[in-house]
Structure 1
Amino acid sequence: MQIKVRLYELDALGHLNHAVYHSYAEVARVEALERAAGGSTALHDEHVSPVLLASSISYRREIRLGETVDVTCDAKFGTGKTFQMEQHIYKADGTLSAELAVTLGLMDLERRKLVDDPRGRFERAGYDLKLLSTSE
């Protein structure tokens, strides 16, 4: 997804505040999950929701006011209750600005516990996993 940098997102050095990179990644993750759901409300109806468990970032190039960036998401499913997502933030000219590695899970909102097999849960809920992962 594309996001344009706004004035209030800058820090004292005149470039994108470090926390805003994480916000951009979150916006892109939510958008990707909504697209992959294709209108399905199955997870919501089951009181299950994605939850962020860990996030790390490597900054590569600064982003400045008025620039438009592209934010990517690529889920990697394995076994267990969690899955990984690689995210990249690119400047309009294709320069890599930041790399994020996040760990997510699906939480049962009533039990407040992670559910097993997030990939399977997404699949059974009708999500198009090809929209979330290049390895699908």
Structure 2
Amino acid sequence: METSIQIEVRPTEIDVMGHVNNAKYLEYMEWSREDWYNKANLPFDTFTEMNIGTVTVHIAINYRKEARLGEKLTISTKPLRKGRTSYVLEHVITNEQGERVADAEVVSCTIDLTARKSVPIPETLARQFEG
């Protein structure tokens, strides 16, 4: 399942170069990831009830085009692949012209919240990666 959110670039997200600060793109992706979990019926509470947490362990991001104040951006999220304890979500940020502003692959791992060690991906999450 692919989901997307839309945002408008705010003044607090602009750096001295007059465009969106690189760290803000990670926030945009985090907001979209949270939306993806919710639309997949996997809100934070569901994981907590299973005593499972999701931890971001690696992000590979490409900055393709600058975004500026007031621009409307779409951030899309979709599952790419999964392993035994980790999985990859892809984020793509586009502007109103449909141009790719940034993209990233985010690797997350599922952990036992008590032991703080990795555990196999729960079936409810694993199903999101099926055809």
Please, what TM-score do these two structures have when normalized by structure 1? Answer: 0.84
One-letter code aligned to 1:100: A
Sequence identity, in percent?
A: 27
Give the Cα separation in 2 of the matches to 1:6 and 1:112: 37
SS of equivalent residue, structure 1 residue 23: helix
Give the Cα separation in 1 of the matches to 2:15 and 2:83: 40
Give the Cα separation in 2 of the matches to 1:65 and 1:53: 30
CA RMSD after TM alignment: 2.0
| 8 Å contact from structure 2 (residues 85, 118) kept in 1 | yes
Tell me which of 24, 31, 34 is aligned to 2:35.
Answer: 31
SS of equivalent residue, structure 2 residue 40: helix
Give the alignment of 1:56-67 within 5 angstroms: 56-67=60-71
Q: How many Å apart are 1:105 and its aligned residue?
A: 1.4
Q: How many Å apart are 1:78 and its aligned residue?
A: 3.0
Q: How many Å apart are 1:101 and its aligned residue?
A: 1.2
Q: In the alignment, does 2:106 pair up with 1:102?
A: yes
One-letter code aligned to 1:60: R
Name the residue aligned to 2:89.
85
Give the Cα separation in 1 of the matches to 2:77 and 2:16: 29
Between Structure 1 and Structure 2, how many residues are aligned? 127
5+ long unaligned stretches in structure 2: none
Give the alignment of 1:45-64 within 5 angstroms: 45-64=49-68
Q: How many Å apart are 1:41 and its aligned residue?
A: 4.4
Give the Cα separation in 2 of the matches to 1:74 and 1:99: 12
Q: In the alignment, does 2:112 pair up with 1:111?
A: no
One-letter code aligned to 2:88: Q
Q: In the alignment, does 2:125 pair up with 1:122?
A: yes
Tell me which of 12, 19, 26 is aligned to 1:22.
Answer: 26
Q: How many Å apart are 1:120 and its aligned residue?
A: 2.1
Please, what TM-score do these two structures have when normalized by structure 2? Answer: 0.87
One-letter code aligned to 1:122: L
| 8 Å contact from structure 1 (residues 77, 119) kept in 2 | no
Tell me which of 61, 76, 91 is aligned to 1:72.
Answer: 76
Q: 1:110 to 1:39 in 2, by over 3 A?
A: closer
